[in-house]
Amino acid sequence: MNFELNEDQLAYQKLARDFAAKSLAPFAAEWDANSVFPVEVLREGGQLGFCGLYSPESCGGLGLSRLDSALVFEELAAADPSTAAFFTIHNMATWMLCTWGQSALTTEVGPKLTSGECLASYCLTEPDAGSDAANLKTAAKRDGDDYILNGSKAFISGAGSTDWLVVMARTGAPGAKGITAFAVPADAPGIRYGKKEDKMGWNSQPTRAIFFDQVRIPATYRLGEEGEGFRIAMKGLDGGRINIATCSVGAAQGALNAAQRYLGERKQFGKALAAFQALQFRLADMATELVASRQMIRLAASKLDAAAPDASVYCAMAKRFATDAGFNICNDALQLHGGYGYLRDYPLERLLRDARVHQILEGTNEIMRVIIARRLLEPDATDHIR
């Protein structure tokens, strides 16, 4: 088992780090304070391949592994977790369209998404179907060569500012087997957007509800077969959990970097804070938790890339551990800054606010525990988790 990055991975990492330093870090606080969705910067990232990292090359994507993609997302999140998280959401929706879309759709739309010319939102959650996603009510009924879409979605990142929506809707009986995936133009007649939600964090990306009223979708915009939508959604969520865990590690790395600088610069009682052993120990624990989180994510990503049968449970474990640890590291870094950490002049309070939602989305950490526990309680479970 080789823990060292190869030359290509180091190049992806450096490209993302340089982009984050130039195009994200100087503006992240302003975007957060003024709720600016930096569309042009997202498109700039698209020109570097960041909008189609693991989408197939046939659609203009880079076709990278999930492990390679995680290296990019971590560097972006160290500067701006909110904008980095939208990159991950767009990548997931783009990958779904490019992987399961019909030929005409992928030829027309795929390259526009992978290049960042167009942006996409992922629409699974509903007002009454969050953790219980298989219970969604949004429905699509066949009407000749089209489907008619009715219903609503909640907490949709980018809603109202993106060009395409990947929507999970019910085409059959209750439960997971009755769900189908669709690509929907975001400006299709009958679509209405709710108010922009006023959030604790993630302020560089808008979040809105979406309402569908007799929205007509060509059957050629269906992704996969009827009834395959929930399987597609769950495949997306495995990768999404790695992505959002990676954003937590990135935020934690940014916070740790800030704490290291501050402890070296700030003096109390006639000496630098870095000279106090209690603070050294706090910093050491933060770094240890960070490295442990990063390695868990890379293990889970490797299993997902290898299509391992236990990939889902490892993705759940990585998401649970890294998002909890990432938030705690940001919180500890803020504490090390004392009163200054509470001020918006420093990045800590923004990193903390942006990292908090990672414990909720892509499946709450309570749901991650359910997934892990179910696998542990299966017959011969001792052979599964080692």
* pLDDT tens digits along 68-106: 999 999 999 999 999 999 999 999 999 999 999 999 999
The residue ranges of every structural domain in the chain are 7-114, 120-227, 230-383
Instruction: Please state, for a pLDDT cut of 90, what percent of the chain lies above it.
Output: 95
125 — alpha (psi -120 to 50), left (phi > 0) or beta? beta
> Helices then strands (H, E): number in the chain?
11, 10
Q: Per the structure block, which two tokens stand in for 262?
A: 């501050």
pTM: 0.95
Domain 7-114 has what CATH class? mainly alpha
320 CB contacts (<8 Å, ≥6 apart)? Answer: 365, 368, 369, 372
User: Which CATH number does 230-383 carry?
Assistant: 1.20.140.10
Would you call 268 helix, strand, or coil by DSSP? strand
Gap between the Cα atoms of 122 and 141, Å rounded = 20
Rounded to whole angstroms, what are the CA distances from 148 to 152, 230, 280? Answer: 13, 19, 61
- What DSSP string describes 56-105? -GGGT-----HHHHHHHHHHHHHH-HHHHHHHHHHHHHHHHHHHHS-HHH
Q: 168 phi and psi, to 5 degrees?
A: -95, 125
Gap between the Cα atoms of 200 and 353, Å rounded = 6
Q: What is the per-residue pLDDT for 249?
A: 98
Q: Are 87 and 48 in contact (CB under 8 A)?
A: no
Q: Are 227 and 134 in contact (CB under 8 A)?
A: no
Q: What is the per-residue pLDDT for 386?
A: 67
- What DSSP string describes 117-162? SS-EEEE--BTTBSS-GGG---EEEEETTEEEEEEEEEEEETTTT-
Mean pLDDT by 10 residues, the chain (386 residues): 89 98 98 98 98 97 97 98 98 98 97 98 92 91 97 97 98 94 98 97 98 98 96 94 98 97 94 95 98 97 95 97 98 97 96 98 95 89 64
Gap between the Cα atoms of 169 and 124, Å rounded = 8
Per CATH, the homologous superfamily of domain 120-227 is: Butyryl-CoA Dehydrogenase, subunit A, domain 2 (2.40.110.10)
Q: Are 108 and 98 in contact (CB under 8 A)?
A: no
Catalytic residue positions?
A: 362
Gap between the Cα atoms of 222 and 4, Å rounded = 41
Rounded to whole angstroms, what are the CA distances from 252 to 183, 231, 257, 283, 333? Answer: 34, 32, 8, 12, 9
Exposure of 211 by Cβ count < 10 A (0-12 exposed, 13-18 middle, 19+ buried)? middle
26 CB contacts (<8 Å, ≥6 apart)? Answer: none
Rounded to whole angstroms, what are the CA distances from 333 to 55, 120, 258, 329? Answer: 35, 34, 8, 6
Q: 375 phi and psi, to 5 degrees?
A: -70, -40
> Which of 206, 196, 223, 209 has the alpha carbon at shortest distance from 152?
209
Q: What is the per-residue pLDDT for 383?
A: 62
Q: Per the structure block, which two tokens stand in for 361?
A: 């989305």
pLDDT in tens, 96-154: 999 999 999 999 999 999 999 999 999 999 998 878 888 899 999 999 999 999 999 99
pLDDT in tens, 150-169: 999 999 999 999 999 999 99
Gap between the Cα atoms of 288 and 73, Å rounded = 20
Question: How many other C-beta atoms can be found within 10 angstroms of the C-beta atom of residue 1?
Answer: 4
Q: What is the per-residue pLDDT for 1?
A: 66
Q: Per the structure block, which two tokens stand in for 296?
A: 């868990």
